[in-house]
Amino acid sequence: MSEIDPRELRNAFGAFMTGVTVVTCLGPDGEPLGFTANSFTSVSLDPPLLLVCLAKSSYSKAEYTSAKGFAVNILAEDQQSISNTFARPVEDRYADIEWFTGPHGAPVFNGVTAWFDCSTHEMVDAGDHILMIGKVEAFDTSDHAPLGYARGGYFSQKLSEQAIEAATAETLRVGALVKNGNALLVIEDEDGLHVPSIPVKRKHGSDSNIDRVAKSLNLTLNRDFVYSVYEDSKAQHLIYRCETDDEEPAEGRFIPIRDIDASGFKDPAEQIMVRRFLSESRLGDFGVYFGDVEQGSVKRFTRDNQLETSFF
């Protein structure tokens, strides 16, 4: 049997699309605690059980494992900053959070897609993590669309669809952040670095958009999701995140992600987007998070095509 490479395994685990949750409990002095987790899964309906994996490196491991219970808050698509706050060593993670005490006593956030307030059923030792198995004592759901997470990046299915809907025909450019392993496809000319993109004349669905970009690059692309939508003086830009196994693009070259300097991108919007991509790539995935998540530049479209403030 071949050796398991932890890095490759981490990438493989990270390819799986998940939601994003914040797991909360009260500490011994009643102080609210919480950490971001995408390892949440339902376990059983009768009895009602769920689980989430807690890294043994967690600063508050003792508090989570000895609390009488914990809550799982499923974050909504506009709560990415909450996810970032609860994944970082922030002094007071609750400073900007609106929350209340759940029926079983753990902190529940306002505006989430769903929450589950649990009693501790069992804590199971599992490698470098602890399986926190909770018995659901109370829960609620809302119609807020959930925040998604895959390959180290956040996404919102609903926003992606809205962005494509909102894009106007004349001014649309479709591009792609194309990853091959740990390298990113970059176009280089006398002005500096660019993300590959092409103008499209009409509005198309995601698959058709990506097919066109793939054709222009002569690559087979697997689309992950819409990564960024923004507008500048020239066009609306719709940028997808994609993967490929092909190594020889018709244009540009693959550069190892660790060697990319975002300031080499001359277009300011591309620079912000690539900076976000680089910082998310450095975050790694489940269980081995570190570093800082930077706010990116994805703009959100309202129904009447007005751009709202930065979403991601």
Closest Cα partner for 101 from 64, 137, 144? 137
User: Which contiguous run of DSSP H or E holds residue 192?
Assistant: strand 192-194
The dihedrals phi and psi of 293, each to the nearest 5 degrees, come to -100, 125
User: How far apart are alpha carbons 99 and 128 in whole angstroms?
Assistant: 30
Place of tokens 């925040």: 147
User: Which contiguous run of DSSP H or E holds residue 14?
Assistant: helix 6-14
Q: Which stretch binds ligand FMN (CB under 6 A): 33-41, 109-117, 162-170, 195-203?
A: 33-41
Among 24, 38, 160, 162, binds ligand FMN (CB under 6 A): 38
Among 83, 160, 271, 297, binds ligand FMN (CB under 6 A): 83
Question: Closest approach of Cβ 194 to ligand FMN, in Å?
Answer: 29
Site string for ligand FMN, 85-114 (x = CB under 6 A): -xx---------------------------
CB 179 within 8 A of CB 241: yes
AA letter at 185 = L
User: How far apart are alpha carbons 136 and 310 in whole angstroms?
Assistant: 35
State yes or no: residue 230 binds ligand FMN (CB under 6 A): no
Nearer to ligand FMN, 115 or 149 (CB): 149
Site string for ligand FMN, 190-229 (x = CB under 6 A): ----------------------------------------
Q: Which stretch binds ligand FMN (CB under 6 A): 51-59, 111-119, 178-186, 248-256?
A: 51-59
| Residue count of the chain | 312
Task: Tell me the β-bridge partners of 33.
Answer: 25
State yes or no: residue 73 binds ligand FMN (CB under 6 A): no
Binding interface with ligand FMN (CB under 6 A): 20, 35-39, 53-55, 58-60, 83, 86-87, 149, 286-287, 289
